[in-house]
Amino acid sequence: MVDGKCSKHYPKKFSNQTTIDEDGFVSYRRRNNPSNTVIINRVEIDNRWIVPYNRDLLVLFNAHINVEKCASPKSTKYMYKYTYKGIDMATIVIENNADNPQNNGEHMYRHVDEIKQYLDCRYVSAIEACWRIYEFELQKQYPSVERLQYHLPNEQFVVFNEDDHLYDVVNRNGVQDTMLTKWFEANKKYPVARTLTYVQFPTAWVWKRDKKQWEMRKKGKCIEITDSFGLWERHWRVMTDDLQYRLRRELRDNSVHISDENLKEWGLHEIECILNRNGKTLGDFPPMPLPSSRSFGIITNRLIREELDYDSVAEEQSFRSYFNGLNNDQLRVFNAIIQAYERKCGGLFFVNGSGGTGKTYLWKTIIAKFRSQNKVVLSVASSGIAALLLPGGRTAHSRFKIPFELVETSHCPINLNTDLAHLIQEASLIIWDEAPMMHRYGFEALIDSTYPQLGSMYSDAAYLKERAILAPKNSDVDVINSMMLSMIPGEVRQFCSADTLCPGETSVCEQHMNPPELLHSIKMSGIPDHYLELKKGAPIILLRNLNQSLGLCNGTRLTVLKMGDKVLEARVITGSHIGEEVLIPRIVLTTTESQTFVPFKRRQFPVKLAFAMTINKSQGQTLNKVDCTYQIPYSLMANCMWHCHV
């Protein structure tokens, strides 16, 4: 596990066939077979969790064997280390205790033979023995190291055997010659030697042990200057081979692909950085091309990469399908927007229409048109559930960093030269769905930042997806949800929140005046209640954006599958991820002074029952069956109903 994720990218994705990408990495076939699963440690395991294996090898060797295509140098290194690591081995010896009474009080000393212990414990396999017999290289030291000798005058180190005669040792030829004395002699003879210190000397001179003298290094080859541009054109792919792997490792996504053009730009940028550290630039080596800062910014900008990571061919097919279904009004709006972009004159377009008139269909057509041309399109909405209806949609708050609490002086904290700033600059089109639902301060902050200055059917997801009871107040919604929960079978499970005052924002007196019981009784919009009652199969709605890429945003409706103390398992029933099973953890939600008399934190599942919901919460939802309960004049209710598609 690395940062809470599997380093081997498990669980894998389901796939109907085995595919091999251009780099040799294999994606094996993994069928989606819900009936063929096992439960291990209360976790359901399907084909996504299974490592590649060979049944015949497992039966033959009766051992764990993982079979994969060797597409990485790591595989070869692993095989080498695994082969030469040897076997596990332990040696034990049974001896008398030194303080044994049978020794008649005599203290026994145990002789320790370290050499024998080493030989007894040293195991040399047949492969290693053969390798050593042929004197093959076992290890290599890089860079090479030369140990220099230091000694005082006439105190050279002399090595001799114990049976050598002292006279012969002293008068041995060259006994007085050492690295240090010969270095002094080299300084006397060669002026170039005097430019190097003793430590620097081995970089230009070689110590010959048989001759006991320093010799100047010789160049065995003459390397001519090559054509820089020709070298780049011939070998740019090899020089940039690791860049795509590096990007995949950083993003932890093996599906990331970089085009050849962007790979070249990235490679040129890396070479430019190396040359700059040495006071050079690619401009000093004509006709080498210079890197484009814009292209490299797109490669390294995670946000831009996400917006460009669409299949242009698939987007082109989607566009043609959508375009053929446009009516005259939609076609007129489409042509006006496309012409404004092609003429590079810009424009601000406001599209108004009732629910079900095809506004979202028009947005999908325009988005597919731009993305088929590899253009950046930012599709945002005022609410999370409305953002799910747009391909690649995000909430305006998350995309443009719009503050949740808006005042007249609010601004979007988008700094210069950040990934988000460059993303907005690269955007060819911004689509803002349900824009009138945003606070007017939200638009002003964005502009100032960008331009400074049931019965038997309760378990049927389709049944729950297309219907809801709408009420104007949360108090009415809570009463209806509690009543509906009691009407479906199953055991009710109650989850209580943990409420604490925000440290540092409340005084000691306030803490005594606001006990936990008082905090438990507080109910407000957007914050789950202290007491949360759920049943298996009950519909719920998210109150917070958890992971928009998985469809888990504020307003997403789900059905409860399993209930744990810390995690809920649920199935998505709305949006673009219908049918996917997700985990919802307990999270900490913090109130503000504008919401309550004292800010506090509540740790609870960010969900509530969704048999009924407020009219405001239903915005962006597509419902076939709607019942309304209200205690306000019908005229006001009719004015609110346009948020929901009926």
Q: What is the pLDDT of residues 558-578, one digit of tens each?
A: 888 888 888 899 988 887 788
Over residues 535-551, mean pLDDT: 84
Token pair 């005259």 is at which residue? 328
The confidence band for 37, taking pLDDT boundaries of 50, 70 and 90, is confident
- Outline where DSSP puts E strands in 196-354: 205-208, 213-216
Answer whether 471's CB lies under 8 Å from 477's CB.
yes
Answer whether 256's CB lies under 8 Å from 309's CB.
yes
Cis peptide, bond prior to residue 11, ω within 30 of zero: yes
281 to each of 224, 295, 561, how far by Cα in Å? 21, 18, 61
The confidence band for 26, taking pLDDT boundaries of 50, 70 and 90, is confident
- Outline where DSSP puts E strands in 161-275: 205-208, 213-216
Point out the least confidently predicted range of 98-107, 315-324, 353-362.
98-107
Q: Decide: helix, strand or coil at residue 412.
A: coil
- The confidence score (pLDDT) of residue 221 equals 56
Pull the structure tokens for residue 381.
């909405």
Query: Quick count: other Cβ atoms within 10 Å of Cβ 477?
Result: 23
- Give me the CATH topology for the region 312-450: Rossmann fold (3.40.50)
Helix axes 359-372, 328-342, angle to 10 degrees: 30
- For residue range 592-624, what is the model confidence (pLDDT) as tens digits? 666 666 778 888 899 988 888 887 777 767 776
- The confidence score (pLDDT) of residue 120 equals 72
When computed from its CA atoms, the radius of gyration of the chain, rounded to whole angstroms, is: 37
First to last CA, the chain: 46
Answer whether 381's CB lies under 8 Å from 390's CB.
yes
Q: Strand pairing of 498-501 and 531-534?
A: unpaired
596 DSSP assignment: S
Pull the structure tokens for residue 425.
């600059």
More confident residue, 537 or 483: 537
Q: Strand pairing of 205-208 and 213-216?
A: antiparallel
- Phi and psi torsions of 39, nearest 5°: -110, 120
- For residue range 266-313, what is the model confidence (pLDDT) as tens digits? 888 888 878 877 777 887 887 888 876 555 556 566 677 777 778 788
Q: What is the residue-averaged pLDDT of the chain?
A: 77
Q: Strand pairing of 539-542 and 557-563?
A: antiparallel
Token pair 């690395």 is at which residue? 2
More confident residue, 345 or 204: 204
Answer whether 79's CB lies under 8 Å from 66's CB.
no
- Outline where DSSP puts E strands in 243-336: none
- For residue range 451-476, what is the model confidence (pLDDT) as tens digits? 345 666 666 767 777 777 777 777 77
Cis peptide, bond prior to residue 291, ω within 30 of zero: no
622 DSSP assignment: B
Alpha-carbon span 646 to 636, nearest angstrom: 17
Alpha-carbon span 183 to 201, nearest angstrom: 8
Residues in the chain, overall count: 646
The confidence band for 391, taking pLDDT boundaries of 50, 70 and 90, is confident
Answer whether 617's CB lies under 8 Å from 551's CB.
no
* Beta-bridge mates of residue 493: 534
Point out the least confidently predicted range of 73-82, 272-281, 620-629.
620-629
Alpha-carbon span 287 to 478, nearest angstrom: 73
Answer whether 348's CB lies under 8 Å from 336's CB.
no
17 sits in which H/E element: none
Nearest to 47 by CA among 56, 34, 57: 34
Q: Decide: helix, strand or coil at residue 87.
A: coil
422 DSSP assignment: H
- The confidence score (pLDDT) of residue 451 equals 37
Amino acid at 282: L
Residue range(s) occupied by CATH 3.40.50.300 in the chain: 312-450
Pull the structure tokens for residue 626.
């709607």
Alpha-carbon span 528 to 522, nearest angstrom: 10
Q: Decide: helix, strand or coil at residue 304.
A: helix
Alpha-carbon span 394 to 63, nearest angstrom: 48
Nearest to 554 by CA among 531, 570, 579, 575: 575
Share of the chain above pLDDT 90, in %: 1
223 DSSP assignment: P
The confidence band for 638, taking pLDDT boundaries of 50, 70 and 90, is very low
List Cβ<8 Å contacts ≥24 apart for 563-566: 563/493, 563/534, 563/536
Answer whether 646's CB lies under 8 Å from 355's CB.
yes
Query: Quick count: other Cβ atoms within 10 Å of Cβ 479?
Result: 14
- The confidence score (pLDDT) of residue 107 equals 59
Answer whether 572's CB lies under 8 Å from 580's CB.
yes
Q: Strand pairing of 26-27 and 19-20?
A: antiparallel
287 to each of 227, 235, 261, 290, how far by Cα in Å? 9, 16, 18, 9
- The confidence score (pLDDT) of residue 594 equals 62
Amino acid at 495: F
Point out the least confidently predicted range of 27-41, 571-585, 590-604.
590-604
Query: Quick count: other Cβ atoms within 10 Å of Cβ 325?
Result: 10
∠ CA 225-231-237, nearest 5°, is 150
313 DSSP assignment: H
CA atoms within 13 A on the CB side of 511: 10
Share of the chain above pLDDT 70, in %: 76
403 to each of 387, 398, 413, 427, 441, how far by Cα in Å? 18, 9, 9, 22, 10
Alpha-carbon span 626 to 470, nearest angstrom: 7
The confidence band for 347, taking pLDDT boundaries of 50, 70 and 90, is confident
Q: Strand pairing of 625-628 and 567-572?
A: unpaired
Alpha-carbon span 465 to 456, nearest angstrom: 15
